[in-house]
Amino acid sequence: MGCGDEKLKRPWWISASAVIPVLVVGVLVVVPIYNLVKMIIALPTSGIFSIGVLASLGIILFQTLTIATLTAVGAVLAGLPLSYILARYSVKHRKFIQALVLTPFVLPTVVTGIAIKGLVGSAVSQGLWLILIGHVYVNLAVVVRIVTPVWEAMDQRFIYAARSLGASGWRLTRTIVWPLIRSAVWRAYGIVFVFGASSLGLVLILGDGRWQTFEVAILRQISVLVNFQIAAVFAVVQLLLVLIVLGITSRRRVVARAARHGVHDRKPLTKSVAARVALYVYVIALIIPLLWLVKTSVTLDGSVGFSAWISVLTENEILESISVDNVFMTTLKVAALTAVISMLVGGAAAMTTLGSRLTANLGKTGFVTLGISSVTLGLALLVTVTRPPFEFDRSLWLIAVTHSLVALPLVMAQVQPLLQSVDARLLTAAASLGAHPFAAYKTAYGKVARTSLLSAASVSAAVSLGEFGAASFLGGYDQPTLAVTILRVLSKPSEYSLAFAAALSVMLAAMTLLVSLGFDSVSESEHRKVRHD
Amino acid sequence: MKKLFLVATAIVLAGCSSQTANPQPSDSPGGTVTVIAHDSFVMTDQQINDFKAATGITIELIQAGDAGTMVSSAILTAGSPSADVMFGIDNTLSAKAVNSGVFEPYESQASGTFKSEFQNLTAGGHLTPVDFGDVCVNFDKKFFAANSLAVPTSLADLTSKQYSGLLVTQDPGTSSPGLAFLLATIATFGDEWPTYWEQLRANNVKVAGSWSDAYFSDFTAGGGNGAYPLVVSYATSPAAEAVYAETELSEVGTGSMTAGCFRQIEFAGILRGSDNVAASRLVVDFLVSKEFQSSVAESMFVYPVRQDVALPDAFTRFAAEVRNPLSLPSEVIDVNLDAWLTAWDAVMKN
């Protein structure tokens, strides 16, 4: 019986926080998609529901589910050990490793695909397994960023108590550790599943044409056949699949309340050879593709040449009307805007988990962007924001908002489990001592919210740095971001193009590291303030 | 936290200050014309400024992704379009778009200056051809010399045993050059084209998901660790190699087959429902003007349709001259494309 379970009267602003994600998602996703669907329905149909289409729908569904499940299982299995090590051992360069984990996630999939093919392609031939390797590599970040903080927040007194009662090893993990991290792991599983199911670039590059996801199928229908009716059917099925999966994996699970001043000791790394070895393996696996990119950026015509780097650091000649520092400035501006907007929108969306069932469910609309095919969303935005009555000025602001939408599910997935793990009795205690509701919430949740939001901001900035899809036309032709520029360079046939693209990718990876380290440093200093009061 | 708030506000204001101007609809030339194009389109700030100085018209560019997305958006919004002028619709999609009532009829006055084969190519008065290119098989000269192998000279050659496992093409469902190559085989072999592809498959052809993947990862001369010295690309790719090289090249390491090439023609058209038709006509004229046409070669690696425009040096020296390009009528492509892609999937993916 939880004697801390009497509910404090919920302040209006917790319930109202649901308005923000609903509004943002509504305006930027629901309205354009609705607009698109209206237009598609208005066109004469031409036998969309033929046997052929239904058969191919079944095949694509099977393939998507296979790729997504294997990806999610693989990413969780690969990510949990690293999360454990980062959470429970005192790792000297933890911030750097956290930042390094993000880089594969940020690099444009074309670049990651080419790098992985270059490194592993001779050992593993193109097809399902190479796709999975690529997917796990890219999605490791999702698992680590979501699970590690929750594992860190776990009060180890439960473990000490269980140990003193004789439990150890597997039993300890199953009965004590797992229930505490379960919700975060399921969240991560769900998100990686969805990323795997909507994968496009890596499937095209690392696959052999026999495996498709819905996103690939939609692209084929639109880019050559201009058959958007069938594309729309696929997009709807994709959305339903995603909603079902997210619904299953993000049910609010009861988590044992962790006391605020619990024990969060970290073991020294010297104590475990296995942990040290594992850490080295992870770091090497994460760094090698970056090293491949560096090598490619200085390889010209079979020998070492630095002209790609000279071009990157001075005026570049390949894209005459765009200067490289213009590209860098645009990219940084958009990433910064995205981080700010994400913290506001994501923070509000995450708060909904503290509200009533209705509020929490409304807040879940923030996850919806995971399920919308990016090809479809791009088309929907293209036909909506450029025409009255929804005409928006194209601007960096608009790109940043779209990027925040893409990052929103990740922000929510990072912040919500942490908010849920705070003991609500703190709230009642504060209130019963006479605190105004706002002050009570601030005392109970404020610091957890702050640190997790800052960490989520670095993920959003990272998402923004690497985003090139639906939003790229929203900013105007002469303001491309780095990811868009890399793609443009890779459309020019020349050995030089690859070196140049590799150099730009290294810069992008460096930016990601800096952004992530920056945010995490601020969040660390906030975190330290927590421990000392 | 206060500091963070101030920094955040500053960042937000910085974002605000780079908004683009709101287009003002106008009925007389002047005002703004929005041009929607695919991602490979290049128009420099210089050209936009020169045009504005000459006509008072501001060109705003929307890059809509690939050609399919661009045409999709136009068909969906036919009558109340997202832009005024569309550039980059090619002969594989033109029939579909014209039949969907996407365009406002307009024939540029400059068509008299086009090469003869382009003079009447207007899809019933709706489109103006602007540039063309040929999709051909490119080869890595070094590889063939090192292995004492003759370079293939026709599509049929590609199925012979000596070229087994040397060719990489792209999926016609996701790649424009991949599609063009498929159309080239259909134009050459007629109804027997699936047999040709069966032979290619038996000869270990590789199918990549996109052009950049094929060129940079699989092509031996693409800078990566490729193993395929034959790649489906453009007749102008060897010229591009010369232009983008870090030092002046006297010869290029790649060449292009001149047989079995498929011609891609890119058109521009005024979108029906545009509120600035008069200015849009001037923009279309600008795209086929001498000034713009003399830039298309170097910026987009395509050929201008005008015959009075000089080609850059790299083109005349390194780009292959394709005398008898293959092509298929747009209407035929429009009607059969779905069936062709399904048949291709059946041959190649089982």
Contact: A226, B93; criterion CB under 8 Å: yes
For Cα atoms B252, B257, B258, give the angle at the middle one, nearest 5 degrees: 115
Residue A292 scores a pLDDT above 80? yes
Q: Do A117 and B217 touch (CB under 8 A)?
A: yes
In the predicted structure, residue B132 carries a pLDDT above the cut 90: yes
| φ, ψ for residue B35, nearest 5 deg | -110, 125
- Whose tokens are 């136009």? That residue is B74
Give B112→chain A minimum CA distance, Å: 31
What φ, ψ does residue B18 adopt, rounded to 5°?
A: -105, 25
Task: State how beta strands B167-170 and B230-234 pair.
Answer: parallel
- Beta-strand relationship, B128-140 and B262-271: antiparallel
Q: Does residue A279 carry a pLDDT above 90?
A: yes
How many angstroms separate the CA atoms of A520 and A513, rounded? 10
Query: What is the pLDDT, as a whole number, of residue B131?
Result: 94
A204·B246 Cβ contact <8 A: no
Residue B154 pLDDT grade (very low, low, confident, very high; cuts 50, 70, 90): very high
Nearest-neighbour CA in chain A from B198: distance (Å): 16
pLDDT band at B24 (very low <50, low <70, confident <90, very high): very low
A71-101 per-position pLDDT tens digit = 999 999 999 999 999 988 888 888 889 889 9
User: d(Cα A84, Cα A77) in Å, to the nearest integer?
Assistant: 12
What's chain B's length in residues?
350
pLDDT, position A492 = 77
Give the model's pLDDT for residue B212: 87
- Range with the largest mean pLDDT of A219-233, B12-26, B223-237: B223-237
Q: Measured between alpha carbons, how far is B145 from B151 in angstroms, rounded to an integer?
A: 9
A425 lies within 8 A of chain B by CB: no
Which residue in chain B is spatially nearest to A36 when comparing CA positions?
B76
Over residues A346-356, mean pLDDT: 84
Average pLDDT, chain B: 87
pLDDT tens digits for range A16-63: 888 888 888 888 888 888 888 888 887 776 656 677 778 888 999 999
* pLDDT tens-digit readout, A367-407: 888 878 778 888 888 888 878 777 777 778 888 888 888 88
Is the confidence at residue A410, as pLDDT, over 70?
yes
Whether the per-residue pLDDT at A185 is higher than 80: the answer is yes
Tell me which of B254 and A158 has the higher pLDDT: B254
Cα(first)–Cα(last) distance of chain A, in Å? 30
* A 444-483: CB under 8 A from B: 450, 472-473, 476-479
Between B126 and A9, the more confident residue is B126
pLDDT of residue A72: 96
To probe the interface with A, which of B244, B247, B248 has the most A CB atoms within 10 Å? B244
Q: Which of A321, A379, A476 is facing B72, going by the closest CB pair? A: A379
CA-based nearest distance A218→chain B, Å: 10
- Closest residue by Cα to residue A188 from A456, A414, A415, A520: A414
**Helix, coil or strand: residue B324:** coil
Residues B81, A387 contacting (CB under 8 angstroms): yes
pLDDT of residue B25: 41
Contact residues for B68 (Cβ-Cβ < 8 A; gap 6+): A222, A223, A224, A225, A226, B93
pLDDT band at B98 (very low <50, low <70, confident <90, very high): very high
Task: Tabulate helix, strand, coil % of chain A (nearest 5).
Answer: 75, 0, 25
Other beta carbons within 10 Å of A296: 25
What average pLDDT does the segment B318-326 reach?
87
CB-nearest partner of A386 from B4, B72, B82:
B82
Q: Minimal Cα–Cα distance from A225 to chain B, Å? A: 7
Chain B partners within 8 Å of A333 (Cβ): 11, 14-15, 18
Radius of gyration of chain A (CA): 24
d(CA B322, CA B303): 12
More confident residue, A54 or B172: B172
CA distance A331 to chain B (A): 11
The more confident residue out of B83 and A467 is: B83
Query: What pLDDT score does A533 carry?
Result: 36
Q: Does A46 touch chain B (CB under 8 A)?
A: no
- Using CA coordinates, name the residue in chain A closest to B242: A494
CB atoms near residue B266 (< 10 Å): 26
More confident of the two residues B273 and A355: B273
Predicted confidence (pLDDT) per residue in A412-442, tens digit: 888 887 787 777 777 788 878 887 878 888 8
Q: How far apart are CA B329 and CA B335, in angstroms?
A: 10
Residue A529 has pLDDT above 80, yes or no: no
Q: Give which of A442, A477, A521 to mutate to test B binding, by max B Cβ within 10 Å.
A: A477
Q: How many CA atoms lie within 13 A of A366 on its CB side?
A: 33
pLDDT value, residue B272: 94
User: Any residues with CB less than 8 A from the CB of A512 and at least 6 apart, and which?
Assistant: A99, A102, A103, A106, A462, A465, A466
Q: How far is B253 from chain A (nearest CA, A)?
A: 10
- Supply the pLDDT for residue A520: 77
A52 min Cα distance to partner chain B (Å): 10
Q: What pLDDT, on a 0 to 100 scale, did the predictor assign at position A3?
A: 47
On whether the CB atoms of residues A8 and A437 are closer than 8 A, the answer is yes
A42 vs A182, more confident: A182
Is the pLDDT at B18 greater than 70? The verdict is: no
* pLDDT for res A2: 44
Is there a contact between A497 and B237 if contact means CB atoms under 8 Å apart? Answer: no
Q: Give me the pLDDT at residue A258, please.
A: 52
- Residue A504: pLDDT above 70? yes
Residue A52 contacts B, CB cutoff 8 Å: yes
Q: What is the C-alpha separation between B302 and A443, in angstroms, rounded?
A: 65
Residues from chain B that touch A228, judged by Cβ atoms under 8 A, are 72, 75-76
Q: Are the C-beta atoms of residues B91 and B132 closer than 8 Å to each other? A: no
- A209 within 8 A of A202, measured Cβ to Cβ: no
Single pTM value for the model? 0.86
Q: Is the pLDDT of residue B206 over 50?
A: yes
Contact at 8 Å (CB) between A83 and A97? no
The reply to whether A53 touches chain B by the CB within 8 Å rule is no
Give the model's pLDDT for residue A500. Answer: 86
pLDDT at B103 over 90: yes
Alpha-carbon distance values, B69 to A1, A308, A369, B74, B213 (Å):
58, 32, 20, 9, 20
Closest residue of B to A497, CA-based?
Answer: B244
pLDDT score, position A376:
83
Lowest mean pLDDT among A211-215, A292-296, B64-68, B178-182: B64-68
Res B306 pLDDT > 50: yes
**How sure is the predictor about B27, in pLDDT bands with cuts at 50, 70 and 90?**
very low
Among B179, B213, B244, whose Cβ lies nearest the Cβ of A318?
B244
> What is the H or E stretch that residue A416 is in?
helix A396-420
CA distance B285 to A137: 50
User: Token pair for residue A64?
Assistant: 């998507």
Residue with the larger pLDDT of the pair A486 and A321: A486
- Which of A69-78, A252-261, B125-134 is least confident? A252-261
| B209·A220 Cβ contact <8 A | no
Number of neighbours of residue A370 by Cβ within 10 angstroms: 23
- pLDDT band per the 50, 70, 90 thresholds, residue A485: confident
Under the banding of pLDDT at 50, 70 and 90, the label for residue B1 is low
What was the ipTM of the complex prediction? Answer: 0.83
Q: How far apart are CA A460 and CA A450, in angstroms?
A: 15
Contact B130, B305 (CB under 8 A): yes
A204 Cβ under 8 Å from any chain B Cβ: yes
Query: Which pLDDT score is estimated for B19?
Result: 44
pLDDT at B20 over 60: no
> Residue B241 and residue A493: Cβ atoms within 8 Å?
yes
- CB < 8 Å to B61, chain A: 476-478
pLDDT at A259 over 60: no
Alpha-carbon distance B266 to nearest alpha carbon in chain A (angstroms): 15
pLDDT digits (tens, 9 = 90+) for A448-482: 888 888 888 888 898 888 887 766 677 666 677 88
The angle subtended at Cα A108 by Cα A85 and Cα B66, nearest 5°, is 155
Mean pLDDT of chain A: 82
Largest distance between two CA atoms of chain B:
73
